[in-house]
Structure 1
C-alpha cells in the first residue's frame, strides 16, 4: 500500500528499506507484486537508497524480475551512485530484452560522459543485431551530441523501422522531434540529402504506392525542409532554402 498510495518520498529510509526487502522477497517466491507506477518508484528511490539497491543487486542480479526492478529504480530515481550497476547490465550482458531496455535507460539516466560515449559507440556498432527499441531510446537521448547526423543515417539504413516489442523505432512519429535539435543548416541539409538518397535506393512500388520507408521519413523530411527554409532565409540564402522547400513538397505530394 505504501508503494502505491501517498508520497513515498516522505517515508524514512528505514521504512523504504523494509518495503524493498518485502517486495523483493515476494518476487523471489514468484508471488504477485502490486503495479508500481513510474512516478511512485521515482519518489521511492532518492540517492540514499543506493546502498540498499547494491545489496539487493549483489544477492539477486541473476533473478530476472528483481534485476529489472533494481535497474528500473536506478533509472527512475536517477540514482547516480548505482550507475556502475547500470553499465554492468548493459552492452548485451543479459540476453532478455527487458533487462537490456531497463539497463539502457538506467545508464542513460545516471551514466557519466564516458559511459554515455561508450554506449553510443555500442549502439552504432550493434544496431543491426540488437532490439530496435533499444536503439531508438539511445538515439532519442544521445542525438545529436554523441550520435550524429551521419550516424543516424547509417542506423536508419539498416534498422527495422516501425513498431516492435517494447516500442520499436518509430521514426515516423518522432523523427521531427530529432530534427528540431539540429541548429545548423548544414546538418539539416545533410540529413535531407541522406534521407532522400535512401528513398531513391528503395525498390519501386506500384503507381501511387508508398513504401514503408516513405511513411517513416515523410514527417522528418518535411520538418527538416521547414527548418532549412527558416534558417537559410535568416542568413540571406533564399535560393537554396526555396529549392529545399520545393523538393520536400514535391516529394510529399508524390508520396501521398
Structure 2
C-alpha cells in the first residue's frame, strides 16, 4: 500500500447529490483499504438545507479554510487533512494521487438497449388490440338502450356510494363514453402507451434508453448517447407552451 500520510477526509453535501455519493463511496473504499484513513461524512436531507449550512458557516469556513472555500457553492464540500480541496473531482484527484495503488475506477455504466423493432411492434399491436376491443364493446353496449341505461345507473350508484366529489357531471361523462367510443378509445390509448413505457422504469434503476431528436444535428439519438463516463446525466423536463 501507499505510504501517503493523508489520514482524514471530510465530506459535506446533500444526500441525493450524485457527486456527494460518489465522493463518499470512493473515500469509504480508501478507508477500507487503509485503516489509517478516517472518513467523516455529513449529509443533509435536501439541497436547500445544504445551501443554508454553507451560508450560515461562511465566516467560519473562510477563517478556517480561506476565501476559496467560503465561495464554494456546489456539493460536496471536500476537505482532506484540514485542507479545503473543492468538490468531488478535486477530492478524487487528491485520493488518486495519494493512493495510486488503489483502483478508484468507477463501475462501468450499464447502458440498457433500446427496445428493438419487433418489441415496439409487438407492444403497439397488443395495445391496439386492447383498445379496439374496448371500443367495440362500448360501441355495442351504447346501441343497446336498456343495457346502456342499466350500466349508467349502476355506475352512478357506485360513484354515490364512494362519495366521489367532482366539478364535473359524472353521469354526463360516463354517457359520453358510450356516445363517443372512439374518443374514449383515444383517451385510454395514451394512458396505455405511457403505462407501457413506465413499466420499464423503477426508482433507483436504469432509465429507459429512449430515442430522442437532437436539436443540434437534427438527427436521431438515444438518451444514453449523452452520457459521458461516470458524469451524471441530468434531465430537465418542461413544456414549450
**Which interval holds the TM-score relative to the shorter structure?**
under 0.3
TM-score w.r.t. length of structure 2: 0.22
TM-score (norm 1): 0.21
Higher Cα Rg, which structure: 2
Q: Which has the higher contact order (CA 8 A, sep 6+)?
A: 2
Q: Which has the higher helix share?
A: 1
Higher strand share: 2
